[in-house]
Amino acid sequence: MLDVCFYMKTMTLKENLGADGKIARQIARRILESARSRNPVVYGIETTNDCRMKCEICPRTKKINRPVQDLDMKAFKKIAEQIRPFSKKLWRQWETFVKETYQILPDEMNENHFFLYIIPKVLVLHGYGDPLLDDSIGEKIKILTKRHIKSYFSCHPLAFNMEKIVECFENELTYLKFSASSLNHPGFLAQVDDLLAIKKQKGYATKLVMAMVDINHSGQKNELAMLKRKYIPQGVYVYLKSQDQRWYRNHPAESRAIHWNEFCQFPWSSMSIHSDGSVVPCCTIYNHEMILGNTAREKLKAIWNGTSYKKFREQHIIMNAKSKCTTRCDMKLIGEWIGA
C-alpha cells in the first residue's frame, strides 16, 4: 500500500522541482512533513525470506546474509491489526487524480498502471523470499481478508505450487503475479492453464498477473506478444516490467516506471517489514542496512513518527553520500532538486 494522500498533496512540489532553480531545504522539509500522514501506511510485509532461485538480476542471490525465516503468525496478526484499508471515497479521489495527472486510465495494462492503480491498494506479501514457501501464507491472507485488506504477492514460475496457490485463492488473495524474464520454464504455461480452469470452475476472484521482466533478450518481444494473445482474453493481466535494482548489475537501461523517475517518496509514504519483524524504509533493503524499528517491541505508529525515521528522512533531504539510498539504489532522492 502507498499513502495516496501524500502523493496527491505533494504534486505541486513535484511540478516545482522541475522548474528552474532549487527549492530551499526548509521549504521542502515543511511541505513533505505537512503532507505526511501521522498514521503509517504499510507497503509490504515479507512473510518469508526463503527463496530457492538464483536470479542474476536479484541482489538476494549474492548479497543477502539474513537468516532464513518466516514471519510467525502471532507477529503477522499483530501487524495486520494496525493496518487500515483505504475508503472507497478516497480511492475514487485517487483514480481521478491519476487520470488527470498521469493520463493513465483504469482499464490500461502496463507497469505504470500496475503501480498507480494496484500497488497503492494492496498489501504486498513478498520481499526477498517466495510466499509460496511460507507454510502459513494461506492463513495470513485469510487474516487480511477478514480485515478487508487487499493482498498481493509475486512469485517465480519455478515455485509454482498448485495446492498452495488454490489455498491462497480460497482465502481471497486479491492478486497473484508470476514474474520472469523468459518463458524458458518447462511446463509452466500448462500449469497456468490448469490454474485458470480451476479458477473458472470454482469462481475464485483472484486476479492472475503475468509480468515479463525486460532484459531485452532475443525473442522476448515475441514471448510477450504470445502471452498477451493467449491470456488477456482469459482475464489475465499481462505486462512488460522494467528491471529493478539496476545498480546491482550496473545496468545502463532506463526505467519506464513513473516511480523510478520521480523523487523517492517512500520515507514519507509507507514502510516495509522484514520477516523478522524489522521495519525498513522500502522493498530495496535486502539485508538490515537500515532498521528503523521492530514490530515486536513498538507499535507501527511509534516507529513511523519516531527519531530513527526522522533522521532517515533528513538523509534524503541533505543527500548523505554514505547512505545506501545514494549508493545502492536507482531511485532519485529529493535532495538532488533542493538547495541549502
Residue type at 193 in one-letter notation: D
Task: Report the phi/psi class of residue 50: left, alpha or beta, with left for phi > 0 and alpha for psi in -120 to 50.
Answer: beta
**Confidence band, pLDDT 50/70/90 cuts, at residue 253:** low
User: For residue 245, what pLDDT band results from cuts at 50, 70 and 90?
Assistant: low
User: What is the total count of domains within the chain?
Assistant: 1
Residue 180 included in any domain: yes
Contacts of 244 by beta carbon, 8 Å cutoff, 6+ apart: 57, 284, 330
Least confident of 40-44, 66-70, 183-187, 329-333: 183-187
Report the percent of the chain where pLDDT is more than 90.
71
C-alpha cell at 64: 543477502
Within a domain: residue 272?
yes
Residue 92 maps to a domain: yes
Q: What are phi and psi of 128, to 5 degrees?
A: -105, 45
- Cell numbers at residue 167, please? 489455498
Share above pLDDT 70 across residues of the chain, in percent, rounded to a whole number:
94
Q: What is the pTM of this model?
A: 0.93
Burial zone of 207 (CB within 10 Å; 0-12 exposed, 13-18 middle, 19+ buried)? middle
pLDDT at 161: 96
Concatenate the DSSP letters of all residues of 264-312 into one string.
P-HHHH-EEE-TTSEEESSTT--SSS---EETTTS-HHHHHTSHHHHHH
Is 290 part of any domain? Answer: yes
Which residue would you say has higher pLDDT here, 260 or 114? 114
Strand partners of residue 208: 176
What's the pLDDT at 312? 96
The residue-averaged pLDDT of 296-316 equals: 97
Instruction: Give the phi and the psi of residue 29 in degrees, each rounded to 5.
Output: -60, -40
Is 284 inside a domain boundary? yes
| 35, pLDDT greater than 90 | yes
Q: What pLDDT band is residue 105 in, cutting at 50, 70 and 90?
A: very high
- pLDDT for the residue 18: 65
Of the pLDDT bands very low, low, confident and very high (cuts 50, 70, 90), residue 339 is confident
- Give domain status of residue 340, yes or no: no
8 Å CB contact between 242 and 256:
yes
C-alpha cell at 17: 522541482
Q: Higher pLDDT residue, 18 or 305?
A: 305
Q: Residue 17: its pLDDT value, please?
A: 83
Taking phi over 0 as left and psi of -120 to 50 as alpha, with beta for the rest, 67 belongs to beta
Q: Answer whether residue 303 shows pLDDT above 80.
A: yes
CATH number at residue 312: 3.20.20.70
Residue 299: inside a domain, yes or no?
Answer: yes
Higher-scoring residue by pLDDT: 18, 109: 109
**pLDDT tens digits for range 193-218:** 999 999 999 999 999 999 998 877 77
Q: What is the pLDDT of residue 43?
A: 98
- Residue-wise pLDDT for 159-177, tens only, equals 999 999 999 999 999 999 9
Q: Which three three-digit cell numbers place residue 63? A: 548479497
Reply yes or no on whether the pLDDT at 256 is more than 90: no
Confidence of residue 58 (pLDDT cuts 50, 70, 90): confident
21, pLDDT greater than 70: no
Residue 119, domain extent: 4-335
pLDDT at 180: 82
